[in-house]
Amino acid sequence: MPKDIQGTTVVVTGGASGIGLAIADAFLQHGAHRVVLLDLNAEQADQATATLNAKHGNKATFILCDVTQDLDQVTKVIIDTYKTVDVLVNSAGIVNERNPRKVIEINLTAVIEWSLKYLEIMRKGGKGGTIINMSSMYGFMVDPYLPTYKASKFGVLGFTKSKGHEYNFKKTGVRLLAICPGVTKTNLTSGYKNFEEKENQEDFVATFDSFPWAEVTRVGQAVVEVFGKADSGTAWAIQGDEPVFEA
């Protein structure tokens, strides 16, 4: 299965900002033919699309999308318009320990549903493809904090490694990869001091502050690096400016 970005069509959920936008930008930098940004924030997405198009030419488009509800209708628009998808990046995610159901729906259930849908599309096309699922350092490490968020990201890692297993890859030709960023400077993490319950906040903030922080551009470029070399069913960690390593 080709690992060449040149000429690819890339779909990115949560693509209007943060890590999703950085990944879209990195794919365009390395030769993607087009990126399709899916997001609920139309204002941010319009701005992101304009920025990418100014930088790379008219190669970015935006479709309003709730990943928990709009899978079938948005996918129909994408396939009707572009005929094929070479890369799906499941990047939409939230942190909200006060609403565990929503966290699981967005961070895990949607990732599974979008992966399964696009796996079938990619395998039927005969070319295969790549599905990149965003997990987290909290997909494989344990501390006392953010248990629901961790559950969602552990789930992403388990699903991706299992569905992307060599046994399945040989049947489908579709590669599934998990990316596990450490703490990254985004709008999401800007509110990290309120992530935990009040009784845990002080200790959590001290722990979070001790981690190496990465810029979103670093994560975007690391994803492109992983895309070029990784086998299906593998997971890759990105922590600060350290080299990418298999998790």
What is the rounded distance in angstroms from the CA atom of residue 151 to the CA atom of residue 186? Answer: 21
Strand order in the sheet with 34-39: 60-64, 34-39, 9-13, 87-90, 129-134, 174-181, 234-238, 245-246
Cα–Cα distance, 23 to 46 (Å, whole number): 17
Catalytic residues, by residue number, are 149
- Could you tell me if 236 and 226 are in contact, meaning their C-beta atoms sit under 8 angstroms apart? yes
121-133 b/e with 16+ CB inside 10 Å = b? bbeebeebbbbbb
Q: Largest alpha-carbon pair distance within the chain?
A: 53
Contact 160, 133 (CB under 8 A): yes
